[in-house]
Structure 1
Amino acid sequence: MSMSKRIVVKIGSSLLAHSQELTLRYAFMHGLMSDIARLKEQGYEVVLMSSGAVALGLNAIGKSPEDAGILDKQAAAAYGQPLLLNAYKQVAHEFGFDIAQILVTLGDMEGRRRFINIKNTLERLFDNGIMPIVNENDTVTTEELRVGDNDRLAAKVAQMIQADHLVLLTSIDGLYDRPPSEPGAEFIEKLEDVSTYLAATTGTNALGSGGMYTKLQAANMAQHAGCSTIIAEGIIENPILSVLEGERRHTLCTAIGTPASAWKVWLTNRLQVAGSLILKQSAADELVSTPQAIKHTDIVSVADTFQKGDILHIYDEKGQEIARGLTNFGSDEVLLLARHPESTTAELLGYSAVPDVITTKNMVILNDNHLSWEVPTEDLQQVAS
């Protein structure tokens, strides 16, 4: 484990591109890279999560943010990405450091092997003093197969590199207890339980794909990995250092206790649901009190189509999410096993396998501070006919 100080900084399209002209805001970029240069001088290793390629490419294909479809955005990203990276490279050289680009997909972050490969690439770039710039690969992703927001993607990267801080720069100065446009809205300077304020975090802007809701989701993911999250306005002068040094208002989401192992953090923090299991209430209650393997005889229903090695969300019959874990079987196999409890795995599947659907070492019991996903209501297949 590296002993270096590490920070992930995420900036959205609305900070990088003028909303009307869809051209780069060079003044903001200079202030940002100046701060990063100073952070590097202070011993930080920095990852920049940067949107902006789609916004910069929309003019070339004759579309606006409001009327661009998925194919338009893919083409715009292909056009805008070299413009964005060329600008970053030029400004970084002015401040004496170099950059590299890593484009990722949802599958890269959710698949364990590719997740480790990206981590190894980041580590090698750090070793050579090069700052990685990470973004979702918008040229190849579809609506069904994309992360959808760089806030949670930034949290996954913070988890990946065991960062100390995640800084989310946005268009407002932090979190309020209700929409800031409402009379009496109060600013939240510090919080530990982000679920308290989820109801007040609706809305996005035209250029960005996330809002305050995704920022709180990201903060929750980061805090369980031992990383504090700062939500602040993206100003031109010292946008990062001014919040790290407490010079201006921001919201701090604190890290929670001692982080779990890297394996369990990866198991817990998902960007998308692969599939779900609903357990008998008695089995669910027992699982929470005494963590143990999930058997096919514990299962009431199966949601979605998943493969061996996917991470499943596990619910009790009351609809409460209680755990997440890596499955030893695909969804069709789980249903077959659960519907024939009197038969052996070898008899039903034609091969010998560990009988547990999810083993204890590949499962995490959720605590009260984890944000839960809603229980699935579609594509739900009952075990009993």
Structure 2
Amino acid sequence: MSQSKRIVVKIGSSLLAHSQELTLRYAFMHGLLSDIAKLKERGVEVVLMSSGAVALGLNAIHKSPEDAGILDKQAAAAYGQPLLLNAYKQVAHEFGFDIAQILVTIGDMEERRRFINIKNTVERLFDNGIMPIVNENDTVTTEELRVGDNDRLAAKVAQMIQADHLILLTSIDGLYDRPPGDEGAQFIEKLDDVSEYLEAASGTNALGSGGMYTKLQAANMAQHAGCSTIIAEGIIDRPILSVLEGNRRHTECVAKGTPESAWKVWLTNRLQVAGSLILKQDVADALTSKLAPIKHTDIISVADSFQKGDILHVYDEQGQEIARGLTNFSSDEVLLLARHPESSTAELLGYSAVPDVITTKNMVILKESHLSWDVPTESLQSVAC
């Protein structure tokens, strides 16, 4: 781990804010930024994923974490964000470096052009020795448009900058094979397949929006981007270095060898479903054996409303997710083409286009180690209608 050149460190609200007073835990912040300063001296580039703005702003709007609604949280984030960044800036200056803030929405991470723009911003900050602090923009996001947890968002950032390690600091020392309070719970030091432990990984705290479940989802995303994930307790003294140097126990989710191209990694690792296709079973079976374009005649059902350029989840008739890819048509256009296979695209859409809904260059076949999303049921529209 000492050879790492890029690291993403994610910390949650429960580590930054006292649960009762909802004020900053300065001792933890000092330990955290002291470690980051030492890493920077060794030539390591660090991105910090930090929650905390909402928790720090709740007192100002006279709300508790338990009774705050989405509008309360938006207002709390607006109030708490400058408090949080001012504290980071002051402590970072004590250790001789500077910080910058990048606030993102789910659209920024899911739309390719905006994703690249954020990557370029991070790279320019690195060039100038400035540490980026990234968080979801809670002042403008709604429940429907949120990533919902900084664990998976941190994994997307790790993918973006091709990080060596994603470090998730939390309130416990790592992953157990069952809830850690249960008798006989066994600590997991290293794992390859996170799906084995998803059932045991549940529960959140009042301040945080994610539990161990989202950390395993994040670990799976990072694995396929060639990044190892470390889950460890966010202690005050040397919270990062003590883990990287192997001085205290933690859980490591190992990387899955050499990642595919950055384009295919981006196609595969999603934070939100834009839409879905269900294919004929024989077409789906053939697709898993040999990559081929998906045509409108291959489709049985379409789920959700999507636009050209969105990433779709592709299922077989058994409900097994087999692929993800970028669509050349909107959901309305796909349904129109699929319901009139005898007509040309020019006749139906008013313009000429290759009838491939997803081309091979814009598609990734999922491996067994990828976590699948459940097939939508309520929004399915059958081609046969």
* Range class of TM-score, shorter chain: over 0.9
Q: State the alpha-carbon separation in 2 of the partners of residues 353 and 54 from structure 1.
A: 47
Q: In the alignment, which residue of structure 1 is the partner of 2:384?
A: 384
Letter in 2 for 1:27: A
- Are 2:4 and 2:164, in contact at CA under 8 Å, matched by a contact in 1? no
Match of 2:78 in 1: 78
Corresponding residue of 2:14: 14
Where 1:375 maps in the other structure, the secondary structure is: coil
Q: CA deviation at 1:354?
A: 1.8
Cα distance in structure 2, aligned partners of 1:271 and 1:376: 16
The residue that corresponds to 1:236 in the other structure is 236
1:223 maps to 2:223: yes
Q: Deviations over 1:124-146 (max 9, x none)?
A: 00000000000000000000001
Equivalent residue letter for 2:92: A
- The residue type equivalent to 2:337 in the other structure is L
Flag structure 2 segments of 5+ consecutive residues without an equivalent. Answer: none
- Match of 2:156? 156
The 1-side partners of 2:61 and 2:297 are apart by: 55
Identity %: 88
* Counterpart in the other structure of 1:181: 181
Report the equivalent of 2:147: 147
Question: Which residue of structure 2 lines up, in the alignment, with residue 65 of structure 1?
Answer: 65
Which amino acid is the alignment partner of residue 306 of structure 2?
Answer: F
1:97 aligns with 2:97: yes
What amino acid maps onto 1:147 in structure 2? V
Mapped to 2, the partners of 1:67 and 1:37 lie a distance apart of 38
Q: Which residue of 2 aligns with 1:273?
A: 273
The corresponding residue for 1:313 is: 313
2:323 corresponds in structure 1 to 323
> What secondary structure sits across from 1:338 in the alignment?
helix
Instruction: Indicate whether 1:135 and 2:152 are aligned.
Output: no
Partner of 2:356, secondary structure, is coil
Q: Residues 2-59 of structure 1: CA distance to partner in whole angstroms, max 9, x if unpaired?
A: x981000000000000000000000000000000000001110000000000000000
Q: What pairs up with 1:17-32 in 2 under 5 angstroms?
A: 17-32=17-32
- Does the CA-based 8 Å contact 1:294-1:357 persist in structure 2? yes
CA contact (8 A) 2:277 2:303 kept: yes
Q: 1:4–1:43: 8 Å Cα contact kept in structure 2?
A: no
CA distance in 1, matches of 2:244, 2:112: 32
* Structure 2: distance between partners of 1:203 and 1:4: 31
- 2:256 is the counterpart of 1:256: yes
Alignment pair present for 1:206 and 2:220? no
Cα contact 2:326–2:358 (8 A) shared by 1: yes
Deviation at 1:195, TM superposition (A): 0.4
Task: Please state how far the C-alpha of 1:258 moved relative to its aligned partner.
Answer: 1.0
Please list the CA deviations of residues 145-170 of structure 1 after superposition, one character each: whole Å capped at 9, or x if unmatched: 01000000000000000000000000
Deviation at 1:378, TM superposition (A): 1.1
TM-score (normalizing by structure 2): 0.99
Counterpart of 2:199 in 1: which secondary structure? helix
Residue of structure 2 in register with 1:50 after alignment: 50
CA distance in structure 2 between the partners assigned to 1:340 and 1:257 by the alignment: 44
Q: Give the partner amino acid of 2:59.
A: N
Whether the 8 Å CA contact 2:227–2:255 is kept in 1: the answer is: yes
Letter paired with 1:110:
E
Deviation for aligned residue 1:200: 0.3
Structure 1: which 5+ residue stretches go unaligned? none
User: Using the alignment, how far apart are the partners of 1:353 and 1:244 within structure 2?
Assistant: 52
In the aligned structure 1, how far is the partner of 2:335 from the partner of 2:246? 54
**Contact persistence 2:327–2:357 (CA under 8 A):** yes
Whole-angstrom distance in 1 between the partners of 2:334 and 2:113: 24
Q: 3-state SS of the aligned residue for 2:198?
A: helix
Q: Secondary structure at the match of 1:286?
A: helix
SS at match of 1:20: coil
* Structure 1 residue 355 displacement after superposition: 1.1
The number of residue pairs the alignment matches comes to 383
1:119-130 paired onto structure 2 within 5 Å? 119-130=119-130
RMSD: 0.8
* CA–CA distance in structure 1, aligned partners of residues 42 and 198 of structure 2: 35
Correspondence for 2:363: 363
Secondary structure of the 1:373 match is coil
Q: Secondary structure at the match of 1:200?
A: coil
